A and B are shown apart, each in its own frame.
Chain A
Amino acid sequence: MSAKSSQKIAMAFIWGSGVITVLILFLIIGYVLARGVPALGWDFLFTAPKGGLSGEGGISTAIVSTIYIVILTIAMLIVPGIGAAIYLSEYAKDNWLTRIIRYGVDTLAGVPSIVFGLFGFVLFVTALHFSFSLLAGALTMVCLLLPTLIRTSEEAIKAVPRSHREGALALGATKWQAIWRVVLPSALPGIVTGIILCIGRIVGETACLYVTIGGSAAMPTSLLSGGRTLSLHLFYLSMETNAFEKAMATAAVLIITILIINTIINWISYRFQARMRGGA
């Protein structure tokens, strides 16, 4: 085969793989929206699931559970996540301690979510007697998401120019004042992006919540009541009932949420880059 014809075949393959990737995306989103959106409505969003084989009712309690889990998890995640990022980017020296910490972050990031689920099940559900509850689920999610927030925040903090720190230190600020008043505010858009990314992961997560929050369809009343997030509700609907229309409508809500989250992230990073380019 001549160099020219192999070039043609190869380019066809390369473009083809791009087209297939986009088609997969459109197929998933298009199919879910086409089948799910017609079943959406205020009724569906604001009535509680009634159970049964046909999955009567809506998803109101699942929405509330999801919001609770998101708020709880993010509230407990922010301090250790950003604190660790500050340590790694501002304090860490190149020594054994830093290597151990990095190994911990990198390895934790790869642990499968069902293994986090097992851990949460033994520690939070059983040993600490939280039983199947929002609290147990959120604590497990904190462990799962720690590496994600650390990595995104660390990147954001490292992107802050050295001159910012030096300026603050030259004015007599302590190291911590420079970090707290100068570096963190500059890195804020990147850190917020990381937090929103984590919210997306919480909304989409199932395996580790499946074994820690119990799956009750009732409205959660306290931190110790069980619940089911939207993703979990979708799983129960499609495995335990034949309510595929309801499952599809739930999937549509999830897809729309994810699309909104992606748009916000892109908007923030676009604004952030524009500001950095503007010489701020």
Chain B
Amino acid sequence: MSRHFIDRNAKYLVLLCASASFIILAAIALFTLREGLPALQEVGWLKLIFGTEWRPSLDKFGILPMIVGSLAVTLGAMILAIPLGVGCAVLLAEVAPHRVRQFLRPAVEILVGIPSVVYGLVGMLLIVPLIREIGGTGYSIAAGALVLMAMVLPTIISISEDSIRAVPRRYKEGSLALGATHWQTIWHVLIPAARSGILAGVILGIGRAIGEAMAMIMVMGNAIQIPTSPLDPARSLAGGIAVEITYAGGLHQNALFAVGVVLFFLIMVINSFAMVVMRRRGERT
């Protein structure tokens, strides 16, 4: 085989490899939709999304409790993780001396690598009993939010840090030259300038939080009801699929794929939003 023959065809080979991601994405959308469609037709879009009762044995498939569960636990996790994550990002990008940074950054990297089931297990044995002291069984939205906070923290920290670092030096120097304190500079100049990057980090964190299944099954108690307090147990969309998919059959299985469709499109919307925000940042700087 001549080297020119290889050269001509290598391009098409790597193009094929590069197309794989899009093909897989399309296949995922297609297959989940195809499997979910019978349930969507049988139950109806609106009844599925806004139905409050999920009883597979009675063919009742309303996923509103799971939607509320997912949103509540994500909201809780974000309320905790955003100030902590942005604070930590500011520390890494602006405040900490080199040696602290060299210690803190690997620590954040390890947090990313810890398996979600380990977060779940530690949550079951440490956080759930702690919340039981306050009230309820402990398996609750609050426990889920605390576990999720730790899981999304690295995402928010690393993306926020990058975007604070990307703010041109002269912004900071100008502000300090005008007599602003370091904190005034951070709050009024650096964070506003890095706003879209921080927002992108938060949105990606939300995406991760909504998609998490196993750790949520382990600490949220999995009751299918619309929660009324942070101490109530609940079930998330992703968790709901994982709990039942291994034994479900017939329409029940189709309904779980319909939950998958909802989850898939929710994540698509969230991530497209993050991509738009990130691109805007790219154009401005």
Q: Do A and B come from one complex?
A: yes
A interface residue numbers (CB < 8 A to B):
3-4, 6-7, 10-11, 13-18, 20-22, 24-25, 27-29, 31-32, 79-84, 86-88, 90-92, 100-101, 103-108, 110-119, 121-123, 143, 146-147, 150, 174-177, 179, 200, 203-207, 210-211, 231-232, 234-235, 238-239, 244, 247-248, 251, 254-255, 258-259, 261-262, 266
Tally of contact residues, B, Cβ under 8 A: 94
Given A84-B21, A108-B24, A116-B28, check contact A17 B10 (CB 8 Å).
Answer: no
Ordered by A's residue number, 25 sampled pairs between the chains whose C-beta atoms are within 8 Å are A4-B181, A14-B91, A17-B83, A21-B88, A25-B110, A28-B114, A31-B125, A84-B21, A101-B21, A106-B275, A110-B211, A112-B210, A112-B212, A115-B32, A115-B211, A115-B263, A118-B260, A203-B115, A204-B114, A206-B214, A210-B214, A210-B246, A234-B118, A235-B218, A238-B124
CA–CA, A105 and B51, complex, Å? 34
CA–CA, A146 and B116, complex, Å? 20
Residues of B contacting A110 in the complex (Cβ-Cβ under 8 angstroms): 204, 207, 211, 267-268, 270-271, 274
Contact between B107 and A174, CB atoms less than 8 A apart: no
Contact between A84 and B20, CB atoms less than 8 A apart: yes
Contact between A28 and B210, CB atoms less than 8 A apart: no
Which of the listed residues A112, A254, A266 has the most CB atoms from chain B within 10 Å of its own CB?
A112
Contact of A113 among B122, B211, B245 (CB under 8 A): B211
Q: A17-B88, A22-B104, A25-B110 are in contact. List 11 more A-B contacts (CB 8 A).
A: A28-B114, A80-B20, A87-B17, A87-B18, A110-B267, A116-B28, A118-B35, A204-B118, A238-B121, A244-B121, A262-B109
Interface presence of B148 (CB below 8 A): no
CA–CA, A63 and B238, complex, Å? 27
Majority SS of interface residues in chain A?
Answer: helix
Nearest neighbor of A266 in chain B, beta-carbon distance: B106
Contact between A31 and B122, CB atoms less than 8 A apart: yes
Residues of A contacting B11 in the complex (Cβ-Cβ under 8 angstroms): 87, 91, 176
Task: Please report which residues of chain B, range 35-65, place their CB below 8 angstroms from some CB of chain A when the two chains form the complex.
Answer: 35
CA–CA, A110 and B269, complex, Å? 11
Closest beta carbon of chain A to B110's beta carbon, Å? 6
Please tell me which stretch of B170-178, B183-191, B224-232 contacts chain A, meaning at least 4 of its Cβ atoms lie within 8 angstroms of it: B183-191
Residues of A contacting B150 in the complex (Cβ-Cβ under 8 angstroms): 24, 28
Residues of A contacting B31 in the complex (Cβ-Cβ under 8 angstroms): 118-119, 122-123
Interface presence of B72 (CB below 8 A): no
Nearest neighbor of A132 in chain B, beta-carbon distance: B246
Residues of A contacting B118 in the complex (Cβ-Cβ under 8 angstroms): 28, 32, 204, 231, 234, 251, 254-255
Closest beta carbon of chain B to A196's beta carbon, Å? 11
Contact between B4 and A112, CB atoms less than 8 A apart: no
Majority SS of interface residues in chain B?
Answer: helix
Contact between B84 and A14, CB atoms less than 8 A apart: no
Contact between A83 and B124, CB atoms less than 8 A apart: no
Interface presence of B133 (CB below 8 A): no
B interface residue numbers (CB < 8 A to A):
3-4, 6-7, 10-11, 13-25, 27-28, 31-32, 34-35, 83-88, 90-92, 95-96, 100, 103-104, 106-111, 113-122, 124-126, 150, 153, 157, 180-184, 186-187, 204, 207, 210-214, 217-218, 238, 241-242, 245-246, 256-257, 260, 263-264, 267-268, 270-272, 274-275
CA–CA, A147 and B74, complex, Å? 24
CA–CA, A103 and B272, complex, Å? 9
Nearest neighbor of A209 in chain B, beta-carbon distance: B214
Residues of B contacting A84 in the complex (Cβ-Cβ under 8 angstroms): 14, 17-18, 20-21
